Amino acid sequence: MYQDIRVINEMVQAESGFVETLKTEIAKVIVGQDYMVDRLLIGLLSDGHILLEGVPGLAKTLTVKTLSDCIQTKFQRIQFTPDLLPADLIGTMIYNQKEGVFVPKKGPIFTNIVLADEINRAPAKVQSGLLEAMQERQVTIGDTTFPLDAPFLVLATQNPIEQEGTYPLPEAQVDRFMLKLKISYPTRQEELQITERMAGGSPIVVRQVISPDDILRARSVVNQVYMDDKIKEYIIDIVFATREPKKYRLPELENMIEYGASPRASIYLHKAARAHAFLRRRGYVTPEDVKAVGLDILRHRVILSYEAEAEERQPEDIIKQIFDTVEVP
């Protein structure tokens, strides 16, 4: 067992070398926001889509664009609007007069990294167009299904304070996002650096430092990061505590949670914890890895009751209480 962990550690050390190079390139443009960059890399390494929520001006779009500029991949930014149609996203069938047949015209979804800007501004029909792409990594146009190239990652942004002209995302779609990030304001010192850097007027150019093959190789190593059975049981306990809090010495949460986390939460906690360990250049998962990513994976999967909302409880409060109570292996 220890021999195997030593081998995995060596593999992690060899394949994770690009992480610091990538972070250094991103830092040429982005000041601070280490949490956001770290979670974007976790999504990239564990093949999971990410929803970024924050007020305008916190560099959500810029960070995603900078990340894509550092990777030798195709990138598309799609501005979601109330008049957007599914065909504008996935494509449609057009008539070829010369041959007398309908042929598919692929939409912007056929890329590697998709930035869905202000995703909550598009109606339900457009959101449904994303579901197949996000879950099955394929798109159906007419009666033909087209696989999407790997890696394929949807990074979506939404504004929590401007509600006019927005549509709440369907629960089925929200559940398909591996992580939901809450982006906060920079510190005073960071904002001073931002103004000095961005007010200069000269564009900042980043280098392409990794390729899709690098990402796919790193994902293969991430999947081999060792996770002890006790850590696996710990993840299941966390998820089940959101569904059956009374069994986990949390009877006060019984009336606070309307719906607990889905099985996707267990799957994504496994994947994200491994990716978190990989970023720390470790070949094994610790409970701290699970705790580090737990809030981002569970905050959009735990649906609170009317009673909790009346008491102004937030999902983050409930999740922190669960992590504080469930026994750590």
Q: Which pLDDT score, from 0 to 100, does residue 162 have?
A: 61
Quote the pLDDT of residue 239. 94
pLDDT at 40 over 50: yes
pLDDT band of residue 122 (cuts 50, 70, 90) is confident
What does each C-alpha distance from 268 to 114, 142, 275, 289, 329 come to in angstroms?
Answer: 20, 32, 10, 12, 19
Q: Would you say 269 and 235 are in contact if contact means Cβ atoms under 8 Å apart?
A: yes
The pLDDT > 90 percentage for the chain reads: 29
pLDDT(2) > 70: no
For residue 298, the model assigns a pLDDT of 93
**What's the whole-number average pLDDT of the chain?**
87
pLDDT of 1? 45
Distances (CA, A) of 21 to 34, 151, 209, 279: 14, 20, 7, 12
Residues near 259 by Cβ (< 8 Å), separated by ≥ 6? 302, 303
Contact criterion met (CB below 8 Å) for 138 and 118: no
Set out the domains of the chain in order of their start, with CATH numbers.
17-214 (3.40.50.300), 225-325 (1.10.8.80)
Poorest-pLDDT segment among 19-33, 123-137, 152-166 = 152-166
| Residues 171, 173, 179, 184, CA torsion sign | negative
Range in 22-31, 159-168, 295-304 the model is least confident about: 159-168
Q: How do residues 211-261 score in pLDDT, each as one tens digit?
A: 888 888 999 999 999 999 999 999 999 999 999 988 888 888 888 888 889
User: Which has more pLDDT, 145 or 273?
Assistant: 273
Confidence of residue 163 (pLDDT cuts 50, 70, 90): low
9/278 Cα distance (integer angstroms): 9
The answer, yes or no, to whether residue 150 has pLDDT greater than 80, is: yes
For 41-67, what is each residue's pLDDT tens digit?
Answer: 999 999 899 999 888 888 888 888 899
